[in-house]
Structure 1
Amino acid sequence: MRKLIFVLAIAGFGLSSCGGDENTVAPPPPAPPGGGPVIASIDLITDNPQIPSDGGIPAAITAFVKDADNNFVEGVDVSFAADSGGIVVTEPTTSATGTAAATLSTAGDPTNRIITVTATAGEVSQTLSVFVTGSQLTITGPDSLVQGDDATYTIVLVDGGGQGIPGVTVDVTSRDGNVLEASTLTTDATGQAQVQLTATQGGDDVITATGLDLSASRTITVSDDNFAFKSPGENAEIDLGAVQVLTVEWLKDGVPQANEVVTFSTTRGEFVGLAGPPQITTNAAGEASISVSADNAGPAIVSAVADGGPTTQLPIEFVATVPASLELQASPFTIAPGNQSTLTAIVRDPDNNRVKNARVQFSLQDVTGGTLSVGAADTDSQGRAQTFYTASDTVSGNQGVTVTA
């Protein structure tokens, strides 16, 4: 509704009172150009001063436009702006209650930060701060190492909803110069990145990871003790169902550390022959032994932690050895003349574990003259053996090429 405001200009004139004194009436201040309302202030509020970095919850922004007497002003256009994130104006013109509105979101940016929102009406502006919070960076891995040992540290980056943030560059440093296999990492689809550290400097060290304007640190202790697995060797293959003895040795300045408690843990399988927790006391030679077995195939990390002392790890692999079934896949299934297809044989045992080191023979029936890259291959840790079929320049009939494994 348009309002017409009539301004009556009154020229000054003299009035005579009974006492004969003269008074002068001053004219009122001029109206604003165009006769519109005078905007004196904007109050800017939000229902959510802290929004999660996953973008799941936005912030509603409301601007109250008032005149000099704090009357709400209707019909005023209000513009909204934000220095990051994204803003959607839902009510651009003030209502009878003097309000205009917008919605603020993170716009897919999970960085913890402060977003400044600005509302402007005429020549008057007001700002509001909204905090984006919840993204976290952490480091996990051993707290203590023996000089010369390797250990893997996992960096995890999650948003305010606890979901991994992929594709973020993370820088990793060692304060004391222990050797890192890489100083720059990139988080994977789960928001994780791993780095291997080789302990070369004795004493306490601080491993620091930085990324997405976040920082995480982990203090580790590098001992000059000789605390390591004596047997088996790294990446030893252990048949499913077999019992493997693992032995760790602890020497300090060349002297065996006897009667010390060592606690073991494993990421796969279980320790056998124990009456209680996996804790073994070192013998006179400074050695502690424990037996491990598994009924499912795959890699494992066995850790040994000395009570109040160093830590060491041993990578091993439990492998299935009894082939029971074979599946052959082709990718792609149909190819043009002269092109190539990958043939993958997957071997499993009776319990559906994938079998490693199984020999797979490939044979080809093809009158068009196509070829296989290899006629036999051994399965890997995933039970896979591969060969590559290359088609000739001749077109075959439907299902005219047969590969058998």
Structure 2
Amino acid sequence: MALVRSVFYIVCCMVLIGCGGGGGGLSDGGTTPDPTPEPIKINLSLSDSKVSNGNPLEVTAIVTQGGVPVATKLVTFTLDKSDIAIFDKGISSVATDSAGKAVVTLLAGNKADGGTIVATTDTGESSETLAFNSAGDGNVIVGPQIDEIAIFANTLQLASSGAQEIALTVIAKNNKNILIPGADISFSSDSGELLISKDDNEVPSSITNDKGQATAILSTQNNPKNRTITVTASNGSISDEINIFVVGTTVQFSGSSSLAFNDDSTYIINVLDSDSEGVYGAQVSLSLANDPATGAANLSFPSTVTTNEEGQAFIQVTGVTGGTNTIIASAMGATASKAISVQADSFVFTGFNNGDGVAVNPSNGNVTPPDVLLSDTATVTLSWNRSGTPVANGTRVDFSTTRGTLSSSSGVINNGQVSTTLTSNDAGKAIVTFTGSDGNIQLSNQLAFEFVAETVDRLIAQASPNSIGPDGQTSTISVVARDPNGNLVKNKTIVFSLSDTTGGQISPAEAITDSKGSASTVFKSSTGSAQNNITITATVKDQPSIIDTVNLTVADRELFIAIGTGNEIEDNETSYTKRFVAFVTDADSNPVKNQKLTVSSVPDAYYKGRWLPLYDGDEFIRWVTAGEIGTHTPDEHNRDTALYLTSQPPTRCLNEDINLNGILDPGEDTNNSGTLTPGNVISSLATVSVENDNTTQVEAVTDNEGKVVIELVYAQSFGGWVDINLIVSGKVGGTESIAKTTYTLPNSAQDINSEDISPPTASIGMSGPFGEHNSCNGWQ
């Protein structure tokens, strides 16, 4: 029986297996397939069709399946062009939220163009491709993220002549003050020219090096206009800026102070750059200071005039109605004025003889008085007419001059003319003034010319720098020519010759000395040389026995020094403190720490003049330094700029200590003051790294960043009146590296921007600390 039960059990199980395990019910014995899943879809949209710096785009992808939002689906957005736009904060992949939505933000890139964007899921589904445009005005950060930028300049003043360049240095740090290499710094300026150089590996200097520094060079090559250049350094939204002041261009306005009714006279306008070279093609705007409708004289003249190749413009001015008025001449950011009275009298220069066979009539248009040799005697003649008829014989005219000696201090009219002669023992510009008085009539006129030294007694040659690297680096060789009395000698041809076995070159081979007795050439290096093994000789061409030499070294410098400063100045009670920073690197741009340096400050030049207030209509602008003021005194109720500005700029005089030995040597006391001028105006020269304090030279040691902070302290009364040379040098292995910047000692803004506060002075009145007369040959 047990066997039967077992067999029955087995048969039942087999039947169940054959029926499919009991899961089929009343089916035909087959299977039913699962339904086909709905496809995943991506709907892509843009908030706008164009991305710009002020209009970022929001890109939205909505992921659905069968009309139902799909959450936690990773969506990646892809651009076809990486330079027209970037993803905000670098986020290009986002997981969908509960609504199936993934959103990213596009920022404008650096290139203006059209492009496309597409969205793709992590399972391979893609959206349609959408097109958009980019304005290309984005501030895209390239390279590492930085948190702080500081920009420095080796000087804040740029000579308008274009002969100078300013080295700009940017330091990039993160929020932990760690220097950041590889950051791309964007340099920009609102005028001038910026140069970004490249190293041997074609890496631009705008990329920060291993010490976190990026560099650029600023110049003003074809624009001598006085102005402020704002330079900005930026990386993304991080930026810093510095103001560079283009200075040195002046306008000079000369001619008679009086005109007869319906008579005309020629006036000369000179536009000069910082090197006293004429500015060609400068447009001079001319206007009257006072409206003739108020009773002032009406004068007829052109509204604009353009300077010739010598920087001169000649205008004819006609007196229309009686009275006095002032003509304002403005060009290149500089202004000069000329006060003129209109009456029955004509008071003009009609003769000038330089004593060397050249005679001209200054009243004729486009005539400039010729130079006068120190060995010659100049003759100046003036004609005085009233209503077209010479004034009475015996009418007195007084003479004065800013340079030289007059044969007499006055003369009398004879047949409508009066003359005087003058000589000079010292070279330079002279301004002769004739002043006539006849009853209530007061007349004056000025004539400018130059006395010129003719014999060179000594040449002084200097190289800057005297040690340069190979492969095209340059050094400027400058000479100054002086006669036996120390006068600067103009119009002498200097011949430069080179003794060099390394293949270097000099250019030009000849140069003519200017009014400052200066001429120069440039040496361009080839390969390295032994110490001081390159010799350049300067010779006066027509006096071959007068020579001087300089020696140069061409070598791979082991130290590179850069000097910089910022816009700030510390205003103490009676002094200013100005800070500079010097950076020292090796040939691989690595900071050199614990490097011993020598820091010195040497006066380069000083200025003579006085402080004058500058107005724009009735609005006070600031106090400015100006040359010797004219005879016209401004009316308290007429604060026009023209009445306050002299036609002469401050007179720049070179440091009398020619050989920089601090000793008054024969021939150095140009102004006969009995001392060296300006002397050492720096009261304290100190460096933070070394505990020392001196007035001319101190030692310093670089910190871990290869940096030294330098502090100059000087009396406030010297601000605006002295140029100093700040020199930093260091030696490694017997090779010296040197850097120099020339800097006009500044004033704080608060001391010159208030009409109620007079600028700092060292004497009674508004004169500068070295006198105000426009001659370097007198202490006045």
Q: TM-score, normalized by length of structure 2?
A: 0.28
Within a 5 Å distance, the mapping from 1:248-287 to structure 2 comes to 260-262=395-397, 277=408, 279-281=410-412
Report whether the alignment pairs 1:57 with 2:187: no
Conserved 8 A contact 1:38-1:67: yes
Conserved 8 A contact 1:86-1:104: yes
Report the Cα distance in structure 1 between the residues aligned to 2:215 and 2:384, rounded to whole angstroms: 69
Secondary structure at the aligned position of 1:310 is classed as strand
Report the Cα distance in structure 2 between the residues aligned to 1:153 and 1:87, rounded to whole angstroms: 39
Q: 1:33 to 1:276 in 2, by over 3 A?
A: closer
Paired letter, 1:281: V
User: What's the Cα RMSD here?
Assistant: 4.0
Counterpart position of 1:106: 220
Counterpart position of 2:149: 42
Conserved 8 A contact 2:263-2:346: no
Deviations 1:204-241 (A, max 9, x none): 21011122343221112223458799xxxx99xxxxxx
Within a 5 Å distance, the mapping from 1:6-405 to structure 2 comes to 37-90=144-197, 91-174=205-288, 175=290, 176=292, 178-224=298-344, 260-262=395-397, 277=408, 279-281=410-412, 305-307=435-437, 309-310=442-443
Deviations 1:77-110 (A, max 9, x none): 2221111111112312212211011111113111
Report the Cα distance in structure 1 between the residues aligned to 2:180 and 2:382, rounded to whole angstroms: 82
Paired letter, 2:211: T
Deviations 1:293-343 (A, max 9, x none): xxxxxxxxxx97524733699xxxxxxxxxxxxxxxxxxxxxxxxxxxxxx
Structure with higher Rg: it is: 2
* Unaligned ranges ≥5, structure 1: 1-31, 236-245, 266-274, 293-302, 314-405
Shift of 1:70: 0.8
Report the Cα distance in structure 2 between the residues aligned to 1:41 and 1:77, rounded to whole angstroms: 13
Q: 1:55 to 1:194 in 2, by over 3 A?
A: same
Report the Cα distance in structure 1 between the residues aligned to 2:345 and 2:306, rounded to whole angstroms: 34
Report the Cα distance in structure 2 between the residues aligned to 1:101 and 1:187, rounded to whole angstroms: 37
Higher relative contact order (CA 8 A, sep 6+): 1
Conserved 8 A contact 2:347-2:382: no
Shift of 1:180: 2.9
Report the Cα distance in structure 2 between the residues aligned to 1:95 and 1:126, rounded to whole angstroms: 18
Q: 1:75 to 1:304 in 2, by over 3 A?
A: closer
Q: 1:66 to 1:146 in 2, by over 3 A?
A: same
Conserved 8 A contact 1:149-1:312: no
Deviations 1:331-373 (A, max 9, x none): xxxxxxxxxxxxxxxxxxxxxxxxxxxxxxxxxxxxxxxxxxx
Report the Cα distance in structure 2 between the residues aligned to 1:41 and 1:88, rounded to whole angstroms: 23
* Unaligned ranges ≥5, structure 2: 1-88, 92-142, 198-204, 350-362, 365-380, 401-405, 421-432, 447-780
Report the Cα distance in structure 1 between the residues aligned to 2:157 and 2:210, rounded to whole angstroms: 29
Secondary structure at the aligned position of 1:172 is classed as strand
Q: 1:202 to 1:68 in 2, by over 3 A?
A: same
Q: 1:291 to 1:93 in 2, by over 3 A?
A: closer
- Which piece of structure 1 moves more, 57-66 or 136-145? 136-145
Report the Cα distance in structure 1 between the residues aligned to 2:417 and 2:245, rounded to whole angstroms: 54
Report the Cα distance in structure 2 between the residues aligned to 1:166 and 1:227, rounded to whole angstroms: 30
Q: 1:92 to 1:158 in 2, by over 3 A?
A: same
Conserved 8 A contact 1:87-1:104: yes
Secondary structure at the aligned position of 2:275 is classed as coil
Report the Cα distance in structure 2 between the residues aligned to 1:181 and 1:59, rounded to whole angstroms: 40
Shift of 1:37: 4.7
Report the Cα distance in structure 2 between the residues aligned to 1:71 and 1:247, rounded to whole angstroms: 73
Shift of 1:280: 4.0
Count how many residue pairs are aligned between Structure 1 and Structure 2: 246
Report the Cα distance in structure 1 between the residues aligned to 2:90 and 2:158, rounded to whole angstroms: 41
Q: 1:250 to 1:33 in 2, by over 3 A?
A: closer
Q: TM-score, normalized by length of structure 1?
A: 0.52
Q: 1:158 to 1:304 in 2, by over 3 A?
A: closer
Report the Cα distance in structure 1 between the residues aligned to 2:231 and 2:154, rounded to whole angstroms: 13
Q: 1:291 to 1:162 in 2, by over 3 A?
A: closer
Secondary structure at the aligned position of 2:310 is classed as coil
Secondary structure at the aligned position of 1:204 is classed as strand
Paired letter, 1:103: I
Paired letter, 2:167: A
Paired letter, 1:193: A
Q: 1:219 to 1:249 in 2, by over 3 A?
A: closer
Report the Cα distance in structure 1 between the residues aligned to 2:419 and 2:183, rounded to whole angstroms: 79
Conserved 8 A contact 2:256-2:348: no
Report the Cα distance in structure 1 between the residues aligned to 2:348 and 2:326, rounded to whole angstroms: 22
Q: 1:85 to 1:278 in 2, by over 3 A?
A: same
Shift of 1:65: 0.4
Secondary structure at the aligned position of 2:279 is classed as coil
Q: 1:225 to 1:162 in 2, by over 3 A?
A: closer
% identical equivalent positions = 32
